[in-house]
Amino acid sequence: MGDLRVWHDGPLPEGVRASAQRLADSDNARHVALMPDAHLAEDVCVGAVRATSGTLYPSAVGGDIGCGMAAVAFDIEAQAVTDARVAARILSAFGARVPFARHRRAAFPSLPQTLRERCLSSPELEAVRCREAEMQLGTLGSGNHFIELQADEGGRLWLMLHSGSREIGPAIRDHHLRRCHVGRLGLRFLEAESEAGRCYLADVQWALDYADASRRQMVEAVADALGGVARAVPLWDTIATCHHNHVRQETHASETLRVHRKGAIPAGAGAVGLVTGSMATFSVHVVGLGNEASLGSCAHGAGRRLSRTAARHQVSIVQLGRETAGVFFDHRLARSLREEAPSAYKDLTHVLRAQRDLARVIRRLRPVLVYKGV
């Protein structure tokens, strides 16, 4: 049985502590840290960091393996994209270069050679890779994934992008869950040093590298679009990236552990991280403080306050419009985007206050334009 540490501003959402305690009480648990953006999700709550001595829990990583963020600054002021006509051209340019679902078969890019040369662990997964991976490389997805243009405190234009491994991530999770042992409390696991465990780790690394490559391609597509519309040039020395769904080997308190993060970012001493708010509230860049009690982790975003179903019932199109006043987005998608309304998320101010000992804010950014899929 492992210890459970909680960072949260106020009472935890209903069921979250029980979900985290289940992780702490499961086989080979050493430590569980619950981040201040934690909320319920399938099997394992989002915002949970779990360390084990030698077991792997695919559900503690989730299906969107490699989901994460990228950010880069541009050489222009954000004011340059705040004219409605310019914003409309930018949204159109993003739509032409970054599909939500998949590229047209005649236009999809090739996988990087480093990904083409590495096979996944089963014919089933190889089939998914051949069928979907190339067509989805550099595509955004839906839900809470986004491309956002932001202004920092000095008015400079920044990009922040949130995406993951698309269809290959859930396929890897589901494939390996079918090969897991069922542990106490019903959580499924693999032994890290078994053949099945090594296959899972290799597939996870492939998905992490794929998600990174996909984000990089989207960043370059956005830079191309902004160059054409606003003559903006990316400042590549400012680029920052981070994963928030992964498992990797780390050393904590002189012990080698398998650290699983589901909706949490690494926040080792000096590590740069990206923490998002919502489509009309501020986001931040942070530097990790290396707090060992949190397994060197911090929150990855504001975290949901309302489930998607509850948001669709409680948030009207009119309310979404009020909450996003001053932020450009495609209003034709407003009905579907109600579940992404700012009121469906926690207040990021409270999240940051709860993790003062985990990460330090180095930059605060407000959204100017948001491109999202449905």
Of 49, 8, 75, 91, the C-alpha closest to 354 is 8
pLDDT in tens, 48-98: 999 999 999 999 999 999 999 999 999 999 999 999 999 999 999 999 999
Please state the three-class secondary structure of the chain as a single string: CCEEEECCCCCCCCCHHHHHHHHHHCCCEEEEEEEEEEECCCCCCEEEEEEECCEECHHHCCCCCCCEEEEEEEEEEHHHHCCHHHHHHHHHHHHHHCCCCCCCCCCCCCCCHHHHCCCCCCHHHHHHHHHHHHHHCCCCCCCCCEEEEEEECCCEEEEEEEECCCCHHHHHHHHHHCCCEECHHHCEEEECCCHHHHHHHHHHHHHHHHHHHHHHHHHHHHHHHHHHHHCCCEEEEEEEEEECEEEEEEEECCEEEEEEEECEEECCCCCEEEEECCCCCCEEEEEECCCHHHCCEEECECCECCCHHHHHHHCCHHHHHHHCCCCECCHHHHHHHHHHCHHHECCHHHHHHHCCCCEEEEEEEEEEEEEECC
Percentage with pLDDT > 90 across the chain? 89
The pair of three-digit structure tokens given for residue 178, joined into one six-digit string: 């079918």
pLDDT score, position 106 = 65
Give me the residue spans of the domains in the chain.
Answer: 3-372
Residue 14: CB atoms within 10 Å = 8
pLDDT in tens, 270-326: 999 999 999 999 999 999 999 999 999 999 999 999 999 999 999 999 999 999 999
Q: Is 176 designated active site?
A: no
* Burial degree of 8 (CB within 10 A; 0-12, 13-18, 19+): buried
Judged against a pLDDT cut of 80, whether residue 156 lies above it is answered with yes
**Domain made up of 3-372: CATH architecture:** Alpha-Beta Complex (3.90)
Q: Name the catalytic one among 39, 300, 331, 350.
A: 300
CA distance 195 to 7: 36
Question: Average pLDDT in the 160-188 region?
Answer: 95
Averaged confidence pLDDT in the chain: 95
pLDDT in tens, 176-211: 999 999 988 889 999 999 999 999 999 999 999 999
pLDDT in tens, 201-238: 999 999 999 999 999 999 999 999 999 999 999 999 99
User: What is the band of 356 on the pLDDT scale with cuts at 50, 70, 90?
Assistant: very high
Residues 6 or more apart whose CB falls under 8 angstroms from that of 104 comprise: none
Of 152, 157, 132, 137, the C-alpha closest to 77 is 157
Predicted TM-score (pTM) of the model is: 0.95
Is residue 121 within 8 A of residue 199, CB to CB? The reply is yes
Q: Name the CA radius of gyration of the chain, rounded.
A: 20
| 335 conformational bin, left if phi > 0, alpha if psi -120 to 50, beta if neither | alpha
pLDDT in tens, 254-264: 999 999 999 99
Supply angle C-alpha 174, 177, 181, rounded to 5: 170
Judged against a pLDDT cut of 80, whether residue 104 lies above it is answered with no
pLDDT score, position 373 = 83
